[in-house]
Structure 1
């Protein structure tokens, strides 16, 4: 059991709340994310954006409650410039890859998505430049590469932080991938459109996003900044919307 210190006594005398342990903080974070996942899956528009911002702030509060800092979340002021450079380089790289993929006949079909048939250019721009950066990138990067990674890294190191963060990031995508087998022709052609195909599509999405989480965590570790995975995450999602709409 951890001994009471003079600092703890001072905080109690001045009415400051006691810190929560790291693993209880991880548990609180997961509970918040479960509720947020259900809410964000049902809500759209302004409600989803407000929810994403509130959840991000709440999770940073949990990190602080556990004794963490902005540096633990990859948001230290000293690393922001370096992280921004990484982000810009990654955005440019993704843009080149998407452009090549869209122009080559062999890979163009990967961008086809039946969901684009009912949306117009204005909605695509809204998704790419508002909903993705706030409703997706902000909350997911703050949660998984910021708070969860920072909490676990403080007590178990980067390998454990990457494993925990990436596994939970994969599970976060169960609900969004439920209709993946029927929405994307490239996926349908591989797994079909039956009930078992939907299960395979969800499993594939979880494994793929968990693997992507490992990459995002490594970018976070190497750059020392949350901005690096944020840049890559935004580019992959936003350019995917733009390419899918233009090639529909």
Structure 2
């Protein structure tokens, strides 16, 4: 039955979400790789073809996703260059990392721990199962809503690590000062769920045009480049906030 298959896929994703965000974040790539394998095996056992899961149109997906990734890079560069928007890149999840850990996040945690599982899980397996039984509109809507709910735990961390972006997600002016807490954090979470659900709908449309590769490349650029541009933003601010003569950088715990 379709609902049983979908429930099984959701259970695998929910378990991986808790593992990656609360139990063993550093093991995210391993957890996500195992969960992805389980989801693909479940889908194949229930008759989904590789094409139904989005494993097709690789050349078109590479062109479309590559163009969108370049657009993300250009947008981030403009955001870092402007003082009014640079504050949104101040994220302690990136700024507190050593260079080695930053490379781990950009090259391993994000591609395998985040993008692989989320794209195969939500735009591949879940979307494919739902589309077979309920059509494109329902598949896109349900998988996107679940993708939004998937971000409840990460958005709680974002509210603490990036106060400016947290206030923006909560619908508040992105001024200076402490980030949201208490009831404000609930608004940050709600705002993040809505925005990521909308992103999920966009990714579903990209999947229809370029298979899984198109949304995967956009997703990868959005997350991995976010870490790199957070460091660039800190470097741009460093001369104005250096803590000692000749230091040339702000003390942010960077190595």
TM bucket (normalised to shorter chain) is 0.7 to 0.9
Q: How far did 1:196 drift?
A: 0.1
* Residues 96 and 200 (structure 1), Cα distance of their counterparts in 2 relative to 1, 3 Å cut: same
Map of 1:107 onto structure 2: 85
C-alpha separation in 1, matches of 2:222 and 2:166: 21
2:61–2:209: 8 Å Cα contact kept in structure 1? no
Residue deviations 1:180-232, cap 9 Å, x none? 32221214555553310111111111111111101111100122x10000000
Residue 51 (str. 1) matches residue 34 (str. 2): no
Unpaired runs of at least 5, structure 1? 1-20
Residue 85 (str. 1) matches residue 63 (str. 2): yes
Map of 2:214 onto structure 1: 228
Following TM superposition, the consecutive aligned residue runs of length 4 or more in structure 1 with deviations greater than 4 angstroms are 188-192
Map of 2:193 onto structure 1: 206
1:177–1:202: 8 Å Cα contact kept in structure 2? yes
Map of 1:39 onto structure 2: 19
Residue correspondence of structure 1 range 1-248 to structure 2 within 5 A:
21-41=1-21, 42-45=23-26, 47-76=27-56, 79-187=57-165, 189=167, 191=170, 192-223=179-210, 225-248=211-234
C-alpha separation in 2, matches of 1:238 and 1:65: 33
C-alpha separation in 2, matches of 1:22 and 1:103: 49
Map of 2:237 onto structure 1: none
Alignment RMSD, CA only? 1.5
Q: How far did 1:135 drift?
A: 0.4
Alignment TM-score, normalising by the size of structure 2:
0.83
Q: How far did 1:35 drift?
A: 1.1
C-alpha separation in 1, matches of 2:75 and 2:181: 32
C-alpha separation in 2, matches of 1:188 and 1:67: 42
Unpaired runs of at least 5, structure 2? 171-178, 235-255
Size of the aligned set, in residue pairs, is 224
Q: How far did 1:122 drift?
A: 2.3
